[in-house]
Amino acid sequence: MIQFEILRQDSGKKLHRYVRQTLPGLPLSGIYKMIRVGRIKINGKKGKNDTVLMAGDQLTIYIAEEEYSQLAKTKPKFQGVPGDLDIVYEDEQLLVVNKPVGLLTHPDETEHKDTLINRALAYLYRQGEISDGRSFLPATVNRLDRNTSGIVLIGKDSETIRELAKNVREHLVHKQYLAIVWGKLFGEGDIDDPLTRDHMQNITRIDRMEKESAKSALTHYRALGTAAGFTLVQIDLISGRTHQIRAHMKALGHPLLGDVKYGGKTAFEVEHHLLHAHLVELPDGSRFVAPPSPVFTSVLQSTGLRRYMPS
- The torsion region of residue 133 among left (phi > 0), alpha (psi -120 to 50) and beta comes to left
Of 145, 190, 207, 259, which residue is the catalytic one? 145
Beta bridge partners of 280: 175, 288
Backbone φ and ψ of 243, nearest 5°: 60, 25
Sign of the Cα torsion 9, 14, 19, 20 reads negative
What kind and span of H or E run contains 296?
helix 294-303
Contact (Cβ atoms closer than 8 angstroms) between residue 96 and residue 150: no
Is 145 one of the catalytic residues? yes
Looking at residue 34, the DSSP 8-state letter turns out to be H
| The 3-state secondary structure of 63-110, one letter per residue | CCHHHHHHHCCCCCCCCCCCCCCCEEEECCCEEEEEECCCCCCCCCCC
DSSP for 107-128, written as a single string? --SS-SSSSHHHHHHHHHHHTT
Return the C-alpha torsion angle 260, 266, 270, 272, nearest 10: -10
Distance (Å, rounded) from C-alpha 148 to C-alpha 177? 10
Where in the sequence numbering do the catalytic residues fall?
145
